Chain A
Amino acid sequence: MLGLDYSWLADPAYQRWLLIGVVNTLKLAALSSSAAIVIGMLGALGFTFRIFWLDALIELFVEVFRNTPPLLQMLFAYFTLSTLGLKVTDPSTGLSVPLLSAFACAAISLSLFGGALAIEAFRSGIETMPRSIVDAARSLGYGRWARFWRIEAPIATRICLPALTNILTNLFKTTSQASVITVPELMYYAGQIYNDTFRTLEVMILVLLIYVALVSMLTFAMARLEAFMAFPGYGRGL
């Protein structure tokens, strides 16, 4: 069929590589997505205090990590964090190794990148909320913290879920760039396999299908979450 040759897929070594690649991709995506959501919430919470220097600090963070290529951020993290001093001696081998592995550097840099985007998403959710609802909460005696967690965050999360879905799917796909700094995820092993077999097109088609499957699971889960969190009068709630 179209001259595609998938006989290499029968090789257990390549099967193992693909499996490890998928697992590492999932790990990297899960870690950086969770961290990005936490960073996003904290950043948005920070904005609600309306303290000048805190606003400026969060703003700077967002601008730096949103306006530069994630690949560059990852290379930066890799060459600074892993080479500048931070070394430990591996007790089993006695060799001096970087404290932060390539995987850790990729996870950190993707978390910050996703976090910067998530801050903006959550902020838009909070700022879209009618000011009068905040007044109502104040008039009922809610202080700033309780107001944020009980009223602003739940409503804002619902409002910004579609934007958050976009950010998380993009973040998931961006994990493939970690292959450049030698993180053994799916894209990295794809390269290894086609360098071995010269079956570039076949490998790319397979990897593409795997990404479609994985990211579709994510968007499906987010759609379910949206339906679960819907309330009447907002979005698709009835």
Chain B
Amino acid sequence: MSRIEALIELDNVRKSFGDFEVLKGISMFVQKGEAVCIIGPSGSGKSTILRCINGLFPIDEGFIRVGEHRVHELKSDKAMRALRHQVAMVFQQYNLFPHRTALQNIMMAPIQVLGHDRAEVEERARKLLKKVRLSEKADSYPGQLSGGQQQRVAIARALAMQPEVILFDEVTAALDPETVKDVLFAIRELVEEGLTCILVTHEMKFAREVSQRVCFTDHGLIVESAPPAELFDNPQDPRTREFLGQVL
């Protein structure tokens, strides 16, 4: 795959928290429309990769490009506004704004950050709520919704920014097993529609079904990267084999 065509490009990204080096030289490319899953043991740097891609964490060394934005060169939240318009993120803990209703959560950023027209944004928000099958919860506060419902509102909130890329950070890890499938269903639809997605996940079955490529990370490095059938059925690296042996 060529670097130029890639929508997202990371080259030798390093990141430390204090003395602990979380990322020890991550390089990866993601094509437009591709769904890439990142799997690996806890503490291997999976979530940190996502947070570096949308600039939530500044990196110590290396190069990150998303579309035309050179992320490692952007220094303030203000400078990153265009990047955040292009790259949305969904979090493990949903992180909805507790003082606003589901509908308001979805409408806030497009109106307040992007300056879009309120009426148009409301129409968009209601469509998205319908898409995640929560139309009847428009006026509920996050505190009144179940985890799975909150997470689907969070997905709708991310989509309302009309991003080109969505980063999913272990979005089902905090959910009850029976609500996981609703959230995965919503994500699968987005992948099928051709939205570029990077998913950090522990759902191996889902990773196998939905992604075009799976990256296995261990101790701050991408150990192996391959199409799911290849990586799951015929892992090359012993560390991948050991990890898959434990989780599958």
Contact = CB atoms under 8 A, between A and B. Distances in A.
B77 A155 contact: no
Interface stretch (A72-80, A136-144, A198-206): A136-144
A140 B91 contact: no
B81 interface: yes
Given A138-B56, A150-B112, A143 B141 contact: no
Contact of B97 (A151, A232, A237): A151
Contacts of A237: 141, 143
Given A141-B85, A150-B108, A232-B142, A133 B114 contact: no
Interface in B59-89: 76-78, 80-81, 84-85, 88-89
Given A136-B95, A233-B98, A141 B80 contact: yes
B53 to A, nearest CB: 11
B99 interface: yes
A133 B105 CA distance: 12
Nearest to A133: B95
A195 interface: no
A123 interface: no
A234 interface: yes
Interface residues of B, number: 30
Contacts of B97: 133, 136-137, 151, 155
A104 B54 CA distance: 51
Contacts of A146: 112-113
Nearest to B86: A141
A220 interface: no
A135 B88 CA distance: 12
B97 to A, nearest CB: 6
A133 B80 CA distance: 18
Nearest to A158: B99
A154 B108 CA distance: 14
Interface in A96-152: 130, 132-133, 135-144, 146-147, 150-151
Nearest to A229: B99
B152 interface: no
Interface in B129-157: 141-144, 157
B137 to A, nearest CB: 12
B161 interface: yes
Contact of A132 (B76, B93, B142, B144): B93
Contacts of B89: 136, 139
Interface string A31-60: 000000000000000000000000000000
B190 interface: no
Contact of A138 (B84, B96, B108): B84
A233 B144 CA distance: 7
A142 B98 CA distance: 16
Contact of A139 (B56, B78, B143, B144): B56
Nearest to A134: B95
20 contacts: A133-B97, A133-B98, A135-B51, A135-B91, A135-B95, A136-B95, A136-B96, A138-B56, A139-B84, A141-B80, A141-B114, A142-B77, A142-B113, A143-B77, A147-B77, A154-B99, A158-B99, A231-B143, A233-B141, A233-B144
Interface of A: 130, 132-133, 135-144, 146-147, 150-151, 154-155, 158, 231-234, 237
Given A141-B85, A142-B77, 17 more contacts: A130-B93, A132-B91, A132-B95, A133-B98, A139-B84, A140-B157, A141-B84, A141-B161, A142-B113, A143-B76, A144-B77, A232-B143, A233-B141, A233-B142, A233-B144, A234-B98, A237-B143
